[in-house]
Amino acid sequence: MGRKAFVGGNWKMNTQRESATALATAVAKATEKASRDVEVVVFPPFPYLLPVGDAIGPRVRLGAQDAYTEASGAFTGEVSVAMLADCGATHALTGHSERRHVLGESDTLVGAKTRAVLDGGLTCVVCVGETLEQREAGETDTVNERQTRAALEGVSAEGMARVVIAYEPVWAIGTGRTASPADAQQAHAALRALLAKLYDDKVAAATRIIYGGSVKGANAAELFGQPDIDGGLIGGASLDAEEFGAIVTAAAKKVH
Ligand code: 13P
């Protein structure tokens, strides 16, 4: 099928200018020998996009953790896709669970942001995932479907070439509690089946679906070994260049 593995480092609201630059330099070094078959992207906080972009070298790409829907205007505190591109970002996250559940972003807003990111020419990593309560109620696939449908509303089959879906169960984020490879695989397979329904088999087979939630060097290979898990979105472990490098190496071993 030839899906290129994808590993993203979501630094969240961590680092400062000096430590961000140092981490970027260390990530460049830790990943330089990894196969080019893995796409590696770091997502630093907005203020450090420029220095991090200067420090990551040619192998690692630059991403933003969020983006606003509008191109410019009276939107105090927001950052447009054009501004992100101007700072060298080639990727942006939308719908991260912290934005949904801490900042209160709706499915509709996530959809509008996703369209804005794609219209602005960037690759969009669309995050979806259920809470613990929803999982325990057996609603995992329903929640993933609802969030994915809303996020991809108005996105064409051609547009899907620049979409990566990140399945991040909320209960696994920052908790040290990883989804079992089998549970994650099940959710990924359901998401891929949904893409086949929303688009067609070709789009479903070509779209990267990555897993996020307490991924570490020690559990990455087993997760990435699942047929529908095409890499990971890494939080805590992405702040340690060596650990992040080990995760990228695990992704490089993935054969589709
Ligand atoms: P952790 O890897 O810290 O669990 O975070 C996952 C995540 O939210 C990545 O976007």
> For residue 12, which of 73, 76, 93 has the smallest C-alpha distance?
93
Could you give the CA distance from residue 61 to residue 63 in angstroms, rounded to a whole number? 7
- Residue-wise pLDDT tens for the chain (256 aa)? 589 999 999 999 999 999 999 999 999 999 999 888 999 999 999 999 999 999 999 999 999 999 999 999 999 999 999 999 999 999 999 999 999 999 999 999 999 999 999 999 999 999 999 999 999 999 999 999 999 999 999 999 999 999 999 999 999 999 989 999 999 999 999 999 999 999 999 999 999 999 999 999 999 999 999 999 999 999 999 999 999 999 999 999 875 5
Q: Is 78 a catalytic residue?
A: no
Q: Is the pTM of this model over 0.85?
A: yes
Q: Strands, E, within 45-162: which ranges?
A: 60-64, 91-94, 123-128
76 CA distance to ligand 1 middle (Å): 28
Ligand 1 site, CB within 6 A: 10, 96, 168, 173-174, 212-215, 233-237
Q: Contact 56/27 with Cβ under 8 angstroms?
A: yes
Taking the CA of residue 176 as reference, the ligand 1 atom at the shortest distance is 4
DSSP string, 218-248: HHHHHHHTSTT--EEEESGGGGSHHHHHHHH
Annotation marks residue 168 as catalytic: yes
**Residue from 99, 127, 234, 240 to probe ligand 1 pocket by mutation (most atoms less than 8 Å from CB):** 234
For the chain, the structural domain boundaries read 5-231
Q: Which residue in 39, 91, 96, 188 is the catalytic one?
A: 96
Q: For the chain, how many residues are written?
A: 256
Q: Which residues lie below 8 Å from residue 248, measured CB to CB, with a gap of 6+? A: 7, 30, 31, 34, 38, 40
CATH number for 5-231 (one of 3.40.50.300, 3.30.1360.70, 3.30.360.10, 3.20.20.70): it is 3.20.20.70
